[in-house]
């Protein structure tokens, strides 16, 4: 058993639990800050500090195991600057970032965003690509972002890194990357109702079978 402090109160929890599991073991009912439980949704961004250490650390509660004398505080979300725009009216040029997210040009290159990323992304480099107007590179480097906001919580320049990545991926998908014709054709088939029966058959399958289908799917090269 380990001693952990959740929201300022001491609990004894079994070793090996994730922070999320420890909170539930201690009696917390998680209705916010809890999503997929597998590191994909980014909903469980968490702050913690170990007794005797000064550094305040960040992590996803579903991925991080508890440690002796860990002090934990969860947040429902990290506030990110989210600009509103019409993707059909903006252009994939260098000026778009200056107009929507000018704070990226205040980056001091401290790399705190990369060091804090729960997904191991090179966040500072995709921001550098966005500064250059290289949206294809920014889109590729930010592709696995789960929007948890941990990078932004560590940024002295107040950059909303996840939102910059989203914009770059949208610009890349609409204006830069070549059209995936098979995807366009499949979307039309779905709109025409040709896939309704197959979709309903998949939705009727039990969770275990859906997981097996997903894990053994054929992945395009």
In this predicted model, what pLDDT tens digit does every residue of 142-176 receive, in sequence order? 999 988 888 988 899 989 999 999 999 999 999 99
Contact 7, 61 (CB under 8 A): no
| Nearest partner of 15 among 59, 70, 75, 52, judged by Cα | 70
Which is more confident, 66 or 41?
66
- Give yes or no for residue 221 having a pLDDT over 90: no
Q: How far is CA 34 from CA 61, 77, 79, 87, in A?
A: 9, 11, 17, 30
Would you say residue 33 has pLDDT above 80? Answer: no
Read off the pLDDT of residues 63-89 as tens digits, 9 standing for 90 and up: 889 999 999 887 766 677 889 999 999
Model confidence, pTM: 0.72
- In the prediction, which pLDDT does 77 show? 66
Distance CA(191)–CA(186), nearest Å, equals 9
| Six-digit token string for 213 | 């289908």
Domains of the chain in sequence order: 2-74 (3.10.20.30), 95-176 (1.10.1060.10), 181-215 (no CATH)
The strand pairing partners of 48, in sequence order, are 57, 72
Q: CB–CB of 151/164 below 8 Å?
A: no
Summarised one tens digit per residue, pLDDT across range 188-211 is 999 999 999 999 999 999 999 998
- What contacts 137, CB < 8 A, 6 or more positions away? 126, 129
Three-state DSSP at 61 gives: coil
């Amino acid at each position: 058993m380990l001693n952990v402090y959740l929201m300022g109160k001491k609990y004894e929890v079994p070793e090996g639990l994730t922070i999320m599991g420890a909170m539930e073991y201690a009696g917390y009912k998680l209705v916010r800050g809890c999503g997929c439980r597998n590191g994909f949704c980014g909903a469980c961004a968490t702050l913690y500090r170990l007794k005797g250490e000064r550094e305040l650390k960040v992590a996803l509660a579903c991925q991080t195991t508890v440690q002796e004398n860990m002090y934990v505080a969860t947040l429902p979300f990290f506030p990110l600057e989210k600009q509103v725009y019409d993707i059909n009216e903006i252009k994939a040029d260098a000026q778009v970032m200056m107009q929507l997210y000018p704070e990226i040009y205040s980056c001091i290159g401290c790399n705190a965003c990369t060091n804090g990323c729960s997904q191991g992304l090179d966040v500072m480099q995709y921001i550098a690509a966005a500064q250059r107007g290289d949206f294809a590179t920014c889109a590729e480097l930010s592709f696995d972002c789960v929007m948890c906001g941990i990078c932004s919580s560590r940024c002295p320049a107040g950059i909303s890194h996840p939102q910059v990545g989203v914009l770059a991926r949208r610009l890349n998908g609409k204006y830069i990357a070549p059209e995936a014709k098979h995807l366009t054709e499949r979307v039309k088939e779905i709109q025409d109702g040709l896939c309704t029966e197959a979709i309903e058959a998949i939705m009727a399958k039990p969770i275990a079978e859906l997981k097996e289908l997903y894990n053994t799917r054929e992945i395009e090269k």
